[in-house]
Amino acid sequence: MLVVPYAHDQPDNALRARKLGIAASVSRSAYSGETAAAALGPLLADAGVAARAASVGEIVSRENGASVAADAIERTFGSRGRRV
C-alpha cells in the first residue's frame, strides 16, 4: 500500500501502516510518478510485505468495526439527540 497523507488523522494512519510493515508513504508535496514508483518498488519486491498484509487483513476481517464504533458512540452519547 502506498499512502499519501493529506490531513487530519491520515499522517498517523500512514505511520501505523508503515510500522506494521505493510505500507510506504510519500508526502503530498513530494508525490510524483517517480516517487510513487520508488516507494512501491521495495514493497512489491518483498514477499514479507504481502504476508504481513494478509495477516493484518485476516485480523481486520474478523472485526466488526462498524458495530464496535456504533456501540462506542452509543455508550459515549447515549440517546441524546436521537430521533425516534
Walking along the chain (84 residues) 10 residues at a time, the average pLDDT comes out as 97 97 97 98 97 96 93 87 55
Question: Residue 78's pLDDT is what?
Answer: 84
Provide the terminal-to-terminal Cα distance of the chain, rounded to the nearest Å: 42
**CA torsion through residues 61, 4, 24, 34, sign:** positive
Give residue 35's domain range.
2-77
Question: Residue 79's pLDDT is what?
Answer: 67
pTM of the model: 0.76
Q: How far apart are CA 62 and CA 69, in angstroms?
A: 14
Question: Residue 50's pLDDT is what?
Answer: 96
The tally of domains found in the chain comes to 1
Q: Give CA torsion, residues 32, 33, 36, 38, to 10 deg.
A: -110
Question: Residue 36's pLDDT is what?
Answer: 98
Question: Residue 81's pLDDT is what?
Answer: 58
Q: How far apart are CA 46 and CA 23, in angstroms?
A: 11
* 54 within a domain of the structure (yes/no): yes
* 82 within a domain of the structure (yes/no): no
- Copy the grid coordinates of residue 35: 516517487
